[in-house]
Amino acid sequence: MISVIIPTYNEEKALPKTLQALFSQPGEFETILVDGGSTDRTSTILDDFEFRPSSPITPHPSRLALTAPKGRASQMNAGAKEAKGEWLLFLHADTILPDGTIQRLNDMERDQSIQAGGFMHQFSGDDWRLKCISFLDNFRCTRSRIIYGDQALFVRRALFEQLGGFPNQPILEDVAFCERLIKVTTPLLLSPPVVTDARKFIKMGIWRSFVRVLLIILHVEYRLPVLPRTFFQDVR
């Protein structure tokens, strides 16, 4: 079984589409939504899908809504503690899994040579600048196997626990975890890609977002000084 863990914070705009795509997938999985104190309707959206009579989604019994201190590491670790699946799949609230993902991971459960992985990445829309950002990110990931959070990282629960989960730090927890992960296994990189809603990049400004991503890549690749917390401002 797959445990899909979704950390959320004020994601009422994107989360319904993510859940719509997830609940339409065949296969065996549970959904664990971990909210970090949203002030909008985020924490009620999971119930909307379960109880709305006109919903096109087939009711899925394995759903759990939790709260945890705000911060992706804190929220994802809290979700992992409640997970029952062989695979832990960490999914951003604004990212859509490709069709067939759940069944594909179900089929991989028996292959112990595969311990972790993630997906190639692309943004929604057709803006060439966003395609360029995804190209650079995919090139980086192919070389380093450091999987960013918006690439739907999946890892076997036993290995996740063995590595101590995500480090309790406010930023780049995904990078820090994967740096430990690649010392014990080579994560699989799958396609077709996940698709992340481009609205945050557009709202921030695509060129500004491009420079931001480039600085993160350089920071990770060349071990530059730690980037300030304000560099990772929330955009909703």
What confidence score (pLDDT) does residue 74 get? 95
Question: Which amino acid is located at 223 in the chain?
Answer: R
Query: What is the domain extent for residue 63?
Result: 2-128+145-198
- The reply to whether 68 falls in a domain is yes
- In sequence order, the 6+-apart residues with CB closer than 8 A to the CB of 149 are 72, 90, 92, 173, 174
**pTM, whole model, 2 decimals?**
0.86
- The reply to whether 218 falls in a domain is no
- The reply to whether 183 falls in a domain is yes
Check if the beta carbon of residue 16 is closer than 8 Å to that of residue 57. no
- The reply to whether 230 falls in a domain is no
More confident residue, 46 or 230: 46
Mean pLDDT of 2-30: 93
- d(CA 41, CA 167) in angstroms, rounded, equals 29
Taking only the tens place, the pLDDT of each residue in 145-183 is 999 989 999 999 999 999 999 998 877 889 889 999 999
Check if the beta carbon of residue 235 is closer than 8 Å to that of residue 131. no
Domain count, the chain: 1
- The reply to whether 224 falls in a domain is no
CATH code, domain carrying 65: 3.90.550.10
Range in 71-75, 90-94, 177-181, 206-210 the model is least confident about: 206-210
**pLDDT of residue 214 exceeding 60:** yes
> Radius of gyration (Cα) for the chain, nearest Å?
17
- The reply to whether 204 falls in a domain is no
- The reply to whether 203 falls in a domain is no
- The reply to whether 63 falls in a domain is yes
